[in-house]
Amino acid sequence: MTLLSVNVNKIAVLRNSRGGDQPDVSTAAQACIAAGAHGITVHPRPDQRHIRPGDVTAIKAILDGRVEFNIEGNAFAPPRGDYPGLLELARTAQPQQCTLVPDGDAQLTSDHGFDLRTDAPRLAPLVAELKSHGCRVSLFVDADVADLERAAQIGADRVEIYTGPYALAHARGDYGRELDACVRCAQSARAVGLGVNAGHDLSQSNLATLKNAIPFLAEVSIGHALIGEALYAGLDATVKAYLRLLGA
């Protein structure tokens, strides 16, 4: 079964745009869990543009082992102000999964994966430290990534395929090449013993096609489209719609 982890970053964006504590990120996470979501994802950044360290602590408290907690972020980014760094957040929150992403302040959103040929040596000690805290470790990769065996060699458990190009091509109605790239990446990862996650710009319009092409997909992380669709249909109905698409 492919699990659905709901990324609640956009709830924090809306809250931060006004100040105060509404809409409440933890309440949104609770609603997603009540609707049947298998996990909650957050992606805190050093500039705290959306999820803040306090949100990580609050969400950890409400999850209490009921569903998976996935924290994404750039482990190379040093602490800044109230942001203690991804490794420290993982140490204190002990999420079931930590997804490493090569993002920076200048990126509006994650838009590329790791180059394992050059990044693997730097990632190795970070992967080891995260696993010492009990985290499953996933690495964000492009669909055409080379040397996937390096991810397995440094101790990663999974890769998350960056599905942005696939989603863009799907919207154009010409997605064959990008879908094939995702499938090849998934098959290559599986061949070297890695689990396969996927995320970025997945929506109700393109998820089923990806799931059918990669039936062994372990997990999808969906935020932007899901929260946008929920503005019209509500979180409960939208989460349940995604679960139906995944056959969950």
The catalytic residues are: 43, 72, 200
**Residue among 58, 66, 50, 111 nearest 89 (CA):** 58
How far apart, in whole angstroms, are the C-alpha atoms of residue 132 and residue 94? 10
Beta-bridged to residue 85, according to DSSP, are none
Q: Which residues of 60-71 are buried (b: 16+ CB within 10 A; e: fewer)?
A: bebbeeebbbbb
Task: Show the 3-state SS of the chain.
Answer: CCEEEEECHHHHHHHHHHCCCCCCHHHHHHHHHHCCCCEEEECCCCCCCCCCHHHHHHHHHHHCCCCEEEEEECCCCCCECCECCHHHHHHHHCCCEEEECCCCCCCCCCCCCCCHHHHHHHHHHHHHHHHHCCCEEEEEECCCCCCCHHHHHCCCCEEEEECHHHHHHHHHCCCHHHHHHHHHHHHHHHHCCCEEEEECCCCCCCHHHHHHHCCCCCEEEECHHHHHHHHHHCHHHHHHHHHHHCCC
Amino acid letter, residue 242: Y
